[in-house]
Amino acid sequence: MSSIVVCSFYTDDEYYRNEAKALKADLDKIGVEYVLEEIAKKPGQDWADMCRQKVPFLQSVCERFPDKKVFWIDVDCRLLSLPDFVRNSSADIIGFQRGFGSTLTIGYHNRTRFWEPCFWGVGTSENARKMIADAAALEAQSELKATDDYFFEDGWRQNADSLTFQVIPSVAVVGKGDPSLKVKPFFVFGSSGNVSEFKGKVEQHKSASKQSVRKRITMFGKKVLKGFSKPVARRLVNIADRVGITSILTGQGSVGKTLSRRAITHKILRAGFDGNRTELAKLSVDLNTSGVTTNEERATIVAANTFAHYSARESEGHVTLTWWARPFPGNFGDWLSPLIIGNYTTDRILYHSPTAPIVEHHLISTGSIGRFITPSSIVVGTGISADDVELHPKAEYISVRGPITAKLVKECGGPDVESFGDPGAVMSRIIPLARPKKTNGKTAFVRHFTHSGLMMRLPDNFEELSVLMSAPSTIAEFLGKLIAFDRVVTSAMHVFIVCQSYGIPCSLVTFEGFEDAVHGTGLKYGDYALGVGLETISPVSVPVDLRKFSFASIERDDTVSEAKKDEIIDAIKRGLAAEARYR
């Protein structure tokens, strides 16, 4: 028991003092160190106000005992023992699921918070203590009417991706146990009855089930499409795009009433779209002070600031540009589009989502977003990821990524397109960088964002870089790092493309068992290569353990010609001129 401390506090009234005496007796019997403190209830404070004091109190105990696991227990609960699996847990966080639910019902689609806050433990790791510190920081600055579990839940959500956790079986609660099971009840739940009184009067998190509904509908739709012929499937996808179904299922559109914090993030994005930097800064402060910001929220703020970078330019003119902006903060290849177009115009660049309806003439450029071409699109270097889509024949086609996309344009009744080239191939012109005479002796490893969850095993000389970025300064920094490496291994097509723009030796890969993670049939790689006049290519499937794999046979060191870069730049300028005619 020397590695554990149990803590709680109680108010200065007879009921809770008696509860504290009973709990102390339990803890003395078990033989565990504890911190039980009496606190005074200040004038005007109610039960909810007292509950939120658990957050700074637990933080103070964690600081006092940095090398011990700290367990919180509500003072009116009881501990009959501390089983081995609890006291010897190596998890960052251990506790009961909210409502003492069975692990068969685990998940946010069943309840709005993860943990039951009456008894849970915090490990000694840096990540575990950060969760408590984040919750305490929020409680200290928040004016929300909320109890401790609201702030602890925010701390959990902020840090959950980097935490290990252990759920205590519900049968460990007295009254829920089964005598035939080996897990014996050790915890007695007590309630003073205040929870029901304050239900609806304090801030609550909301269910996160909508995302799972979107996902289930999307998967069902994909299965249905496989049953139709390719022309019919193309038409159905086109209809879904036009009427806004795709927008809703990808999270671009509205699916009903939003949460208050989500409403703020929507306003942050709108301020970014509009170039309203003052409002964007104000809303970002509001979000930061109303709760511990999640990774998603922070990424949204970054993306919004990048939108504003382009939309707040000092110009009376504007260019409407379509590109794929998510996932936030942005995917390197997709966010090359505004950077490249912005290099050849001083006008403001206004974002238009690929899935949203539009009648205004607009540019559509870098990316595999050909399926979203409309009659008012001016196409410059856009490609496709599969040929089961319909490309609108009445769009103005300046150039496309390559001959495979051009062939589909023709099949759909469009014009003959003879100018090819992915705009990403001109990045060495936009951000001129010279390869150092002596590189760093390492290999850069860059995954497509859909491969981010794979458990890779990398050689010692590999250094991983992320593609999640949108800001021009961040992209420039990324490219500055990339050219310093001996070579690059990547599953992200536009990383491969910029390597061929700068002349960096590169291997294009996918991963065994995860070949379908990147959307499409794989035709986009050959389409790109043929479009810039290089030998066709497809990703090579490699194991997730790269330590013994030799890349020598699949490495490419060819470079896009300067003449092809001139052709692509000329297409971009012609596209901008065409768009200007419609203003």
Instruction: Tell me the domain boundaries of the chain.
Output: 4-198, 431-560
pLDDT tens digit sequence for 460-478: 999 999 999 999 999 999 9
Residue 236 confidence (pLDDT): 67
pLDDT of residue 455: 84
Predicted confidence (pLDDT) at residue 168 exceeds the cutoff of 90 = yes
CA nearest to 128, candidates 87, 147, 156: 156
Asked if 347 and 315 touch (Cβ cutoff 8 Å), the reply is yes
Asked if the model's pLDDT at residue 263 lies above 80, the reply is yes
Whether pTM exceeds 0.85: no
Which range is least confidently modeled, 239-243, 285-289, 368-372, 426-430?
Answer: 239-243
| Gyration radius (Cα) of the chain, Å | 28
Range ranked top by mean pLDDT from 242-246, 513-517, 535-539: 535-539
Sheet with 396-400, side-by-side order of all strands: 348-352, 318-322, 362-364, 377-382, 396-400
Find the mean pLDDT for residues 332-347: 98
- C-alpha 198, offset from chain centre: 34
Of 22-36, 259-273, 471-485, 506-520, the range with the lowest mean pLDDT is 259-273
Measured between alpha carbons, how far apart are the two ends of the chain, in Å? 75
Distance CA 374, CA 412 (A): 13
Residues paired with 352 in a beta bridge: 322
Rounded average pLDDT over 296-320: 96
Structure tokens that stand for 466 in this block: 């992320």
Helix count and strand count (H, E) for the chain:
20, 18
Residue 510, burial from CB neighbour count under 10 angstroms (0-12, 13-18, 19+): buried
Residues 552 and 548: their CA atoms lie apart, in Å, by: 12
Q: What is the pLDDT of residue 241?
A: 59
pLDDT at residue 199, rounded to an integer: 46
pLDDT of residue 254: 38
Q: Does residue 268 contact residue 284 with C-beta atoms inside 8 Å?
A: yes
Upstream peptide bond of 327 is cis (omega within 30 degrees of 0)? yes
Would you say residue 374 has pLDDT above 50? yes
Share of the chain above pLDDT 90, in %: 68
Between the CA of residue 76 and those of 79, 202, 311, 368, what are the distances in Å?
A: 10, 21, 57, 59
Instruction: Give the DSSP H or E segment for 362.
Output: strand 362-364
> 282 exposed, middle or buried (CB, 10 Å; 0-12, 13-18, 19+)?
middle
Question: 215 pLDDT band (50/70/90 cuts)?
Answer: low
Q: Can you tell me the mean pLDDT for 380-395? A: 95
Across 276-280, average pLDDT: 96
Residues in CB range of 455: below 8 A, 6 or more apart: 544
Kindly tell me the burial class for residue 49, based on how many C-beta atoms sit within 10 Å of its own C-beta (0-12, 13-18, 19 or more). middle
So what's the pLDDT on residue 265?
92
In whole angstroms, give the CA distance from residue 85 to residue 166.
Answer: 10
CA dihedral sign, ordered 544, 545, 547, 552: negative
pLDDT at 196 over 50: no
Question: Which CATH code for domain 4-198?
Answer: 3.90.550.10
Give the chain's mean pLDDT: 88
Query: What is the pLDDT at residue 252?
Result: 47
Question: Is the Cβ–Cβ distance between 365 and 352 less than 8 Å?
Answer: no
Q: What pLDDT shows up at residue 429?
A: 98
**pLDDT tens-place string over residues 388-400:** 999 999 999 999 9
Give me the pLDDT at residue 238, please.
Answer: 65
Sorting pLDDT into bands at 50, 70 and 90, what band is 572?
A: very high
Provide the pLDDT for residue 102: 76
How does pLDDT run across 90-126, given as a tens digit for each residue?
A: 999 999 998 887 777 776 666 778 898 899 999 999 9
Measured on CA atoms in the order 148, 150, 153, 159, is the torsion positive or negative?
negative
pLDDT (tens digit, 9 = 90+) per residue, 553-570? 999 999 999 999 999 999
Instruction: Note the pLDDT of residue 112.
Output: 75
